[in-house]
């Protein structure tokens, strides 16, 4: 059990990993009460005052980055003569560990990892930050498929995996760009090559220049820029070869690389220009040429037909029509009165019924005919009834859709772990090595989570933006594609990948 507090604030709790130039610890920030990752930077020749200042300067640059695919850098402190980087803690495995466990990864999975990695690095380049050490060991992959790149700036601060001013090579050159292996400074194109070399390793199981223990031999191959053609890249091969071009000027920018990986296309973006309006030429009026031949004589106009003569109406006929209309109205009125009077008598003679609150109550008097006499023997008396209202119809509850099930799942978090954990399928948990303790520890680092942009995009597939708020109040968002499966009357989450 480690019992050490760095800079009087960060209490080390667990060693997470170590490399040639540093050791990473899981630690507790005793001031803000949150879990962080702390990396102690080491150098073979020790840190002098200048190297410490350089580490602080690089950390300040890296701290400007705020992106969902970049591990956030919180602080840089000095303890016992060594600089320490305080970073976001992410329960995840490095891509290097994933490759060691599985050998090679499918091209589709590599593409999903590549898109997120390229977007994180593109954000860094936009902020003017060069990573200088892009490799699988610096790429973290969570059980949910989220990818984050870490260790920005530390390669230069610790002189790791670069040629130093004294000519010494520190670290492995397996992922170095050819120009860096030849002695040129690492710049933005070198990161693009590092991205390609990382994807090559994930597809083929080893980096482009191999894993020779002889660093000089590796450096020689890296400087030459030659490597075996990829065998498992599939549709990714054209993009991969562009990233690994030996000429730094021929490589795409990181933003272009992210687009190429998203679209699996090396074609440049075509921008359609708006059509330029063309002014219409004015219409020219050409006067008719002078006739050289005689025009035919016009045909004689036809005489207009005479208008029909309207005869005046006969006043006697008009009076006769008016009298006829009046007589018809009198007859219709008389017939309507007789019908109404007859119906009134029928109603008085009929058996009376009284209806109260939907129930029909019949009078005790026997029904009578129109003449007020009992109906003839053998005939069935007719009684008037009022039909009861139909029974209320019960509307079944609407079926829960996958997007609603996903919203309901995240509504349980981070507080109700016991109810949320069974929503993950056994395949989901086993495929990512997620047990209950791991799941609980993951959500212990967050105070709130919400969903936005929830949309059904395919059969049982939902895309959504997951918005996290950690214990310090810092917020971050991730775009994910979820696959859900039906188990009885419930939806379960079977897969989650970053998009």
Give the count of beta carbons closer than 10 Å to the beta carbon of residue 18.
13
Sheet strands side by side (includes 10-19): 4-6, 10-19, 22-29, 34-41, 82-88, 73-79
Q: Report the distance separating Cα 427 and Cα 495, nearest Å.
A: 8
CB 210 within 8 A of CB 276: no
Q: What is the DSSP letter of 378?
A: T
Taking each helix axis from N to C terminus, what angle separates 188-204 and 254-263, rounded to the nearest 10 degrees? 30
Q: Rounded to whole angstroms, how far apart are CA atoms 338 and 49?
A: 121
Query: Of these residues, 133, 151, 403, 470, which one is catalytic?
Result: 133
CB-based contacts of 65: which residues, under 8 Å, 6+ apart? 72, 73, 123, 124, 127, 129, 152
To which H or E segment does residue 173 belong? Answer: none
Angle 91-95-101 from CA coordinates, rounded to 5° = 100
Cα 417 to chain centroid, rounded: 24
Q: Please give the structure tokens belonging to residue 475.
A: 């917020």
- C-alpha 201/C-alpha 196 separation (Å) is 9
Any known ligand binding at 126?
A: no
Q: Which residue has the tokens 């597939």?
A: 461
Q: Does the annotation mark 133 as catalytic?
A: yes
Question: Among 354, 386, 387, 348, which Cα is nearest to 369's?
Answer: 348
Please give the annotated binding residues, written as ranges.
Answer: 39
Please give the annotated binding residues for ATP, written as ranges.
Answer: 39
User: Which residues are part of the catalytic machinery?
Assistant: 133
């Amino acid at each position: 059990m480690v019992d050490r507090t760095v800079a009087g604030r960060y209490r080390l709790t667990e060693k997470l990993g170590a490399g040639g130039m540093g050791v990473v610890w899981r630690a507790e920030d005793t001031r803000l009460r949150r879990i962080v990752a702390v990396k102690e930077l080491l150098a073979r020749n020790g840190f002098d005052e200048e190297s410490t200042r350089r580490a602080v300067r690089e950390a300040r640059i890296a701290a400007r980055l705020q992106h969902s695919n970049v591990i956030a850098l919180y602080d840089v402190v000095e303890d016992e003569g060594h600089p320490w980087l305080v970073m976001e803690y992410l329960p995840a495995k490095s891509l290097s560990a994933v490759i060691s466990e599985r050998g090679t990864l499918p091209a589709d999975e590599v593409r999903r990892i590549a898109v997120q990695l390229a977007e994180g690095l593109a954000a860094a380049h936009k902020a003017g930050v060069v990573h200088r050490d892009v490799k699988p060991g610096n790429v973290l992959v969570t059980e949910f498929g989220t990818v984050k790149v870490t260790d920005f700036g530390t390669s230069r601060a610790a002189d790791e995996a670069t040629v130093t001013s004294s000519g010494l090579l520190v670290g492995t050159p397996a992922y170095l760009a050819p120009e860096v292996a030849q002695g040129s400074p690492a710049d933005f194109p070198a990161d693009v090559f590092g991205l390609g070399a990382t994807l090559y390793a994930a597809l083929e199981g080893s980096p482009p220049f191999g894993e020779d223990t002889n660093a000089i031999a590796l450096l020689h191959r890296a400087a030459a820029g030659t490597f075996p053609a990829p065998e498992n890249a599939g549709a990714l091969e054209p993009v991969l070869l562009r990233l690994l071009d030996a000429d730094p000027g021929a490589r795409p920018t990181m933003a272009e690389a992210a687009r190429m990986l998203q679209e699996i296309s090396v074609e440049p973006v075509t921008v359609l220009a708006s059509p330029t309006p063309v002014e219409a030429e004015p219409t020219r009026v050409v006067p008719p040429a002078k006739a050289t031949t005689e025009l035919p004589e016009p045909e004689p106009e036809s005489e207009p037909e005479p208008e029909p003569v309207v005869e005046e109406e006969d006043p006697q006929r008009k009076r006769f029509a008016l009298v006829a209309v009046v007589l018809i109205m009198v007859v219709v009125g008389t017939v309507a009165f007789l019908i109404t009077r007859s119906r009134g008598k029928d109603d008085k003679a009929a058996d009376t019924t009284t209806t109260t609150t939907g129930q029909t109550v019949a009078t005790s008097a026997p029904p009578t005919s129109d003449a007020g006499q009992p109906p003839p023997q053998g005939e069935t008396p007719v009684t008037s009834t009022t039909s009861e209202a139909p029974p209320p119809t019960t509307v079944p509850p609407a079926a829960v859709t996958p997007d609603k099930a996903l919203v309901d799942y995240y509504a349980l978090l981070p507080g109700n772990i016991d109810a949320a954990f069974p929503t993950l399928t056994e395949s989901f948990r086993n495929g990512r090595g997620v047990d209950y303790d791991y799941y609980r520890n993951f959500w212990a680092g967050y105070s709130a989570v919400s969903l936005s942009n929830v949309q059904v995009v395919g059969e049982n597939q939902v895309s959504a933006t997951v918005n996290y708020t950690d214990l310090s109040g810092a917020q971050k968002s991730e775009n994910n594609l979820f696959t859900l499966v039906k188990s009885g009357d419930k939806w379960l989450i079977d897969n989650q990948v970053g998009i």
